[in-house]
Amino acid sequence: MLDGANRISTQMLTNVHGRPWTSDGFRTSWSNAKEKAKNHPSGGSAAHAGARANLKLTFHLDHSAGLIKQYRSKRFKTNVSSHSYPRFESSLAGQHVLLTGHTGFTGGWLALWLHTIGCEISGLALPPETDPNLFSAAKIADQLNSNYGDIRDFATVTRAVVRARPSIIFHLAAQPLVSRGFAEPLETFTTNMIGTAHVLEAARLAPSVKAVVCVTTDKVYAERECHGGYREVDRLGGKDPYAASKACAELVASCYRSTMASRGNGAHIATARGGNIIGGGDWSANRIVPDFIRATVSAAPLMLRNPDAVRPWQHVLALVHGCLLLASRLLDGRAEFADAWNFGPVDNNAVTVGALVHCLGKVWKRPEIIYEKSGFPETHFLRLDSSKARKLLEWRPPLDFEDAVRLTAEWYRDYYAKLTAAAALTRAHIEQYRQMIGSES
C-alpha cells in the first residue's frame, strides 16, 4: 500500500469481506478504496494517494495444469480513470444482492463475478441437478450465503428476500430446458411464470430493493419468417411450453414494472433476453455443448439433432456482462433503463449447430457424430437484434464466436485434466473478460 509520499505503508486496504485488496482477486471499488484511504493515519494526502494508486495483477492461465499463475503485483502511479476494470462495477461493489438460480450454469458465473467485486450475495435455488455441476466443482457455496428453496413457494421467496435485505435482485431461477418443457409442462409454467411473480411480489414489498433484473431467453418471441433479428418491440409468443412460459414471465415483469412497483417500493424492473450461451461448467441434458463434452469424455458418439439450425451463440460472460451493466444503471436510479433488453451476438455470430460442433472439435477432440431426428419441435432460425443494448447501454462484449468456442472448449479440456481446477479456471476467464472490456463500460 502507498502513503501520501508514495512509500510503502503499513495500512492494508481491505474489501467488504475484510480480505486484503491485493492479489487474491477480490478487489473493492474505487469508492470503497478511497473511503479506506481517508481513515489512513497520514490524513488527507493519503486519501489522494489512495485514489491514484493502482495495483494491477496479471493472470496467466496455464492450460496444461488448469491453474492460475499469479505474478507479482506491480505498482503504477496512474490516474484512477486509467484503471483496467469496468466503471459500472463501482455501482455494484458492496451491494447486498439476492441471486435466484445461483446453483445453475449462468447463476454460477454471475455469482463469482459479483463476489469478485465485493458484493454481499445471498442465493436461493434448488440443489444442482447434474453431477458434475459448476456450483459444486467451483465451490460457489463458499462465496455466498446459499439457501435451497423452491420459488414456486411464495413464503420461501419472501423469507429469502427479508433475510438478504438486497438492494438488487437477479432472478435467474427457472426451468431452463426446452425438452423438459414438453415432458413437464405444468412444472415449467409454474416455475417460470408463477415463480417470477413470487419474486417480483416479494421484491415489491421489501423496502431495501431498488432494482430487479429478470433473465428470460431469446425464445420469448413469436416466430416469424423474416430472418432479421428479433427486436424488443416484436410480439411475444412461444409454441412450446418453455418458450411460452418465458414469454409469460416477460408479461409478468412488464405488469410489475408498469403498475405494481409504484404501489410498493418503486423498484426499477428490467428483463434480459439472452441469446444461446456457451461456456465452461454446463452439464445440462439435451444441450449441444454438454452433449459434445459427454461424448468426447466417454468416447461415445454424439447424437446430433438439427445441425442446420441457426442460433445466436455467445459466451455466458457476455450475458452476465449485460445483466451487470443493466443492474448498475437501475441502481443509479435511471428509470429509462427499466425495460426489456436483448443481449445477443452480432449477426455473424449466429451460426448453425453443425458449425459450432466443428469449431469445438478443432479446439479439443471431435467425437463420432450420429444424426438423429429431434423428438420435439424446435425453432430453425433464431437471431436477436441487440442494437438497443449496444447503443444505449454501451454493451460491447469483446468475444466473437470463435473466441467463445475456444474458451468453452479449453475450460472443459483443462477441467477434465485437473478436476479441482474449476474455480481457478472460471475466475481466470472472468478476470480475462473484465480486463478485455476495461473501463469502457
Q: 365-419, pLDDT tens digit by residue?
A: 889 999 887 766 666 678 899 999 999 999 999 999 999 999 999 999 999 999 9
Question: Do 23 and 110 belong together in one domain?
Answer: no
Q: Which strands form 145-148's sheet, in the order they lie side by side?
A: 145-148, 120-125, 96-100, 168-171, 211-215, 268-274, 340-343
The pLDDT, as a whole number, for residue 376 is 62
Question: Do 305 and 327 belong together in one domain?
Answer: yes
Q: What are phi and psi of 11, to 5 degrees?
A: -75, 125
The pLDDT, as a whole number, for residue 264 is 97
Question: Do 35 and 177 belong together in one domain?
Answer: no
**Whole-angstrom Cα distance, residue 169 to residue 161?**
9
Question: Do 122 and 33 belong together in one domain?
Answer: no
User: Which tens digits make up the pLDDT trace of 46-61?
Assistant: 333 333 333 323 333 3
Domain boundary among the residues 57, 83, 109 is at: 83
Question: Do 57 and 155 belong together in one domain?
Answer: no
Domain boundary among the residues 28, 50, 83 is at: 83
Question: Do 341 and 192 belong together in one domain?
Answer: yes
Confidence of residue 438 (pLDDT cuts 50, 70, 90): confident
Tell me the three cell numbers of residue 350. 449466429
DSSP string, 187-214: HHHIIIIIHHHHHHHHHHT-TT--EEEE
Least confident of 17-26, 201-210, 246-255, 372-381: 17-26
Question: Do 218 and 347 belong together in one domain?
Answer: yes
Question: Do 71 and 204 belong together in one domain?
Answer: no
The pLDDT, as a whole number, for residue 98 is 98
Confidence of residue 337 (pLDDT cuts 50, 70, 90): very high
The pLDDT, as a whole number, for residue 194 is 98
Confidence of residue 314 (pLDDT cuts 50, 70, 90): very high
Question: Do 74 and 117 belong together in one domain?
Answer: no
Work out the number of other CB atoms within 10 angstroms of the CB of residue 308: 10
What percentage of residues in the chain have a pLDDT greater than 70?
78
Question: Do 219 and 79 belong together in one domain?
Answer: no
Least confident of 319-333, 347-361, 366-380: 366-380
Least confident of 48-62, 202-216, 335-349: 48-62
DSSP string, 74-129: EEEE--GGG-SS-TTHHHHTT-EEEEETTTSHHHHHHHHHHHHTT-EEEEEEPPP-
Range of the domain at 329: 89-437
Question: Do 99 and 183 belong together in one domain?
Answer: yes
The pLDDT, as a whole number, for residue 51 is 33
User: Which tens digits make up the pLDDT trace of 128-163?
Assistant: 999 999 999 999 999 999 999 999 999 999 999 999
Q: What are phi and psi of 99, to 5 degrees?
A: -120, 110
Residue 341 has pLDDT above 60, yes or no: yes
Question: Do 66 and 111 belong together in one domain?
Answer: no
CATH number at residue 279: 3.40.50.720
Residue 350 has pLDDT above 80, yes or no: no
**Whole-angstrom Cα distance, residue 273 to residue 256?**
17
Domain boundary among the residues 42, 67, 83 is at: 83
Confidence of residue 225 (pLDDT cuts 50, 70, 90): low
User: Which tens digits make up the pLDDT trace of 68-120?
Assistant: 333 222 222 222 333 478 999 999 999 999 999 999 999 999 999 999 999 99
Query: Peptide bond before 132: cis, by omega within 30 degrees of 0?
Result: yes
The pLDDT, as a whole number, for residue 190 is 98
Number of domains present in the structure of the chain: 2
